[in-house]
Chains A and B, each alone.
Chain A
Amino acid sequence: MGRVKLPIGPQHPALKEPENFTITLDGERVVDVDIRIGYTHRGIEKLMESRTYTQNLYLVERICGICSYAHVENFTQNVEEILGIQIPKRAEYIRTLFLELERLHSHFLWLGVAGHEIGFDTLFMYTWQDREVVQDLLEMISGNRVNYAMNAIGGVRRDVCVEHQKKVLQGMDYLEKRAGYYKEVAINEKTILARAENVGILKTKDALKYTAVGPTARASGITVDIRKDDPYASYLDTPFDVITTNTNDVLGRVVVRVLEIFESIKIIRYLMAHLPAGEIVTKAPRKVPEGESISHTEAPRGEDFHYLRSNGTEKPERYKVRTPTLANLPALAEMLKGTYLADVPIIVAAIDPCMGCMDRVLVLKGNEKPGELVDGERLRRYSIKWYAERGWKA
């Protein structure tokens, strides 16, 4: 049988977000893969140049709906570095608390998605129910389940009171018990072993060659964790271990994330026990002097890299964001080669991809014509017309 080219996406029932994989198959085996991204490109970097630093706080957060806090943490760290501001110790601890709560909910969410991709939907139901505990804690402190709007330039916007601390610790007790169960399941459950063991191999040398980041790199035996390598927030004070495995497969990526849940719980307990007293925010000027700064954090998916160039005004000159999913794509292409088509969804899910969501629409009329930008108002009118033509009333 000859080789078959199979396009998956950008719109496909099995994909959670728009992306495109062109997979070349020889029978059931994947021989080549081409990944096309950009379907959710929203031009945030350009948009940031026309907004003030305060406005950008909330725009940056919307780069991603899951690891939103890692982005806003990078942004505030960059601005604070150029301003030369040292934020209060208490604010550092609260920021670390949010970074770890975010990792918890992201890892629980991922575990569910991984279960779903291998047809183990019970796991999906269980973990997403447990994730609600984290979401409730986030909502209790910040008022929001996602995009917490917690950071201000110079500190945080909301304090953590004694009552909150008690609830957070109760939540951790519950989650630790649940994570213990998932650890058992990940290591012993036949369904998971059959679908994840020796699947999606990424050798250590390839992970290094393509600069894989986060749990993907750590499951290939690379000890890389920005929290330890280049400590930010309060990670220098906080004891925790970097989890690695050397199985190089999807199972390794499951194990790394499950064990990281325990580390996050450990960090959060430490933070709650040692939360320093004092202010939560220092005053920051609106204008940022000329300068440049680099900040990177260990987001749930890996190294999240931001670069800021300021020009002395209230708006940035250039802002650059590199999300961990982009860094992991070349490694993903490597993992997919030589695998079975049926394993493609779980291998893709194992890097925990996050493509962001749509903000501005680009309508393409045929292949030869240039793209046309459509704003919200025109889109609204178009949809009213579309429904009206079909006999619906808006």
Chain B
Amino acid sequence: MTTTEELITEVLKGFPVQVKRERRVFLTIPRNDLIKTMNILSSELNIQHLSTITARDTGNDLEILYHFLLKGVVITIRTTCPKNDPTVDSIVSVFPSAILYERELHDILGIVPNGHPDLRRLVLPDEWVGGYPLRKDWKQPAEQEAEE
């Protein structure tokens, strides 16, 4: 383990930190703790590099992964929100670079980041009414027509 990983484990003591391999650290937290954790990352670890935010459909829930980079170590914060209440606090106030990534989540998976300043569409057209394409139950408009 390099010193950066030791530092991360030390600062995030009390959290279930998992070092998957060299330079890959994962941490799972409940969504209510998100802002608290983000503040620790920002103020105590002095992380500034948010690589991106990934989200995926796990069936009943939506899993959100925040990927950070600190001295070559990728730190991933994992949280989930239920599909019937797909909301999570926006981290833009802590990490301004999250602005486009959260817009993308909202656009393609329907996750609502509470407190996000600008939730216009990002990759899909403004007039899109076809739902959230990256959800597993999404069907292409052509497939839907065939079924009807």
Please name all residues of chain A whose beta carbon is closer than 8 Å to the beta carbon of B1 when the two chains form the complex. Answer: none
Establish whether residues B72 and A229, one from each chain, have CB atoms under 8 Å apart when the complex forms: yes
Which residues of chain B are near A329, meaning CB under 8 Å? Answer: 100
CA distance A81 to B74 in the complex (A): 15
Of A81, A211, A226, A229, which is in contact with the most chain B CB atoms at under 10 Å from its CB?
Answer: A211
Residues of A near B87 (CB, < 8 A) are none
Contacting residue for A38 out of B71, B97, B124, B138, CB 8 A: B124
Q: Is B83 an interface residue when CB atoms closer than 8 A count as contact?
A: no
Q: Say yes or no: is A61 at the interface (Cβ < 8 Å to chain B).
A: no
B51 touches A303 (CB 8 A): yes
Given A38-B121, A209-B48, A230-B23, A371-B65 contact (CB < 8 Å): no
Contact status B51-A330, CB under 8 Å: no
**How many whole Å from A199's CB to the nearest CB in chain B?**
23
**Which chain A residues lie closer than 8 Å to B48 at the CB level?**
208-209, 211
Instruction: Determine if B122 is an interface residue (Cβ-Cβ < 8 Å).
Output: yes
Distance (Å) between the CB of A348 and the closest chain B CB? 16
Q: Which residues of B contact A371 (CB under 8 A)?
A: 125, 127-130
B96 to A209, Cβ gap below 8 A? yes
Query: Which listed residue (A37, A364, A369, A373) contacts B123, Cβ 8 A?
Result: A37
Q: How many A-B residue pairs have CB under 8 A?
A: 96
Q: Which A residues are CB-close (under 8 A) to B124? A: 38, 41
Residues from chain A with a CB closer than 8 A to the CB of B133 are: 43, 46
Within 8 Å of chain B (Cβ to Cβ): is A196? no
**Could you give, for residues 293-306 of chain A, a 1 whenever the CB lies within 8 Å of some chain B CB and a 0 otherwise?**
01010000001010
A/B interface sample: 13 pairs, CB < 8 A: A38-B121, A46-B134, A208-B49, A229-B71, A230-B72, A294-B24, A296-B74, A303-B69, A318-B134, A327-B52, A330-B97, A362-B125, A371-B130
Q: Give B38 Cβ to nearest chain A Cβ, in Å.
A: 14
Asked if A320 is at the interface (CB within 8 A of a chain B CB), the reply is: yes
Q: Is the CB of A375 within 8 A of B122?
A: no
Q: A230-B23, A307-B65, A330-B97 are in contact. Are A364 and B127 (CB under 8 A)?
A: yes
User: Which listed residue, A210, A228, A320, A369, touches B127 by the CB 8 Å rule?
Assistant: A369
In terms of DSSP, what is the predominant structure of the interface of chain A? mixed
Whether a CB of chain B sits under 8 angstroms from the CB of A322 is yes
Q: How far is the CB of A141 from chain B (nearest CB, A)?
A: 30
* B49 pairs with A211, CB closer than 8 A: yes
Per-residue contact bits, chain A 307-336, to B (CB 8 Å; 1 contact, 0 not): 101000000011010100011011000000
In the bound complex, do residue B122 and residue A317 qualify as a contact, i.e. CB atoms below 8 Å apart? Answer: no
| Chain A CB within 8 A of B39 CB | no
Which one of A41, A211, A317 contacts B56 once the chains associate, using CB atoms below 8 Å?
Answer: A317
Contact status of A307 and B50, CB under 8 A, knowing A211-B97, A371-B128: no
In the complex, whether B99 has a CB less than 8 A from a CB of chain A is yes
Those of B50-65 within 8 Å (CB) of chain A: 50-52, 54, 56-57, 65
Provide the residues of chain A in CB contact with B14, threshold 8 Å: none
Contact: B130 with A370, CB < 8 Å?
yes
Contact in complex: A370, B96 (CB < 8 Å): no
Known: A230-B69, A373-B142. 12 other contacts (CB 8 A): A38-B124, A209-B96, A211-B51, A307-B67, A317-B56, A318-B56, A318-B57, A327-B51, A370-B127, A370-B128, A371-B125, A375-B142
Q: How far is the CB of B84 from chain A (nearest CB, A)?
A: 21
B122 near A38 (CB under 8 angstroms)? Answer: yes
A375 to B143, CA, bound (A): 13
Interface residues in B68-107 (C-beta closer than 8 Å to A): 69, 71-74, 76, 95-97, 99-101
Residues of A within 8 A of B141 (CB): 372-373
Q: A373 to chain B: which residues have CB within 8 Å?
A: 140-142
Chain A 27-51 interface 0/1 with B at a Cβ cutoff of 8 Å (1 = within):
0000000000110010101100000
> In this assembly, does A243 line the interface, its C-beta being within 8 Å of a C-beta of chain B?
no
Tell me whether A294 and B74 are in contact (CB under 8 A): yes
> Residue among B48, B71, B142 with the most chain A CB within 10 A?
B48
Contacts of B125 in A (CB 8 A): 38, 362, 364, 371
For A185-215 the 0/1 string (1 means CB < 8 A from B) is 0000000000000000000000011110000
Residues of the A chain whose Cβ atoms lie less than 8 Å from the Cβ of B65: 307
**A contact residues around B140 at 8 Å (CB):** 373
**Contact (Cβ within 8 A) A38 B54:** no
Residues of chain B contacted by A362 (CB below 8 angstroms): 125
Cβ contact within 8 Å between A320 and B51: no
Nearest-neighbor residue (CB-CB) of B71 within chain A: A229
Most buried by A among B24, B73, B76: B24
Chain A: minimal CB distance from B97 (Å)? 4
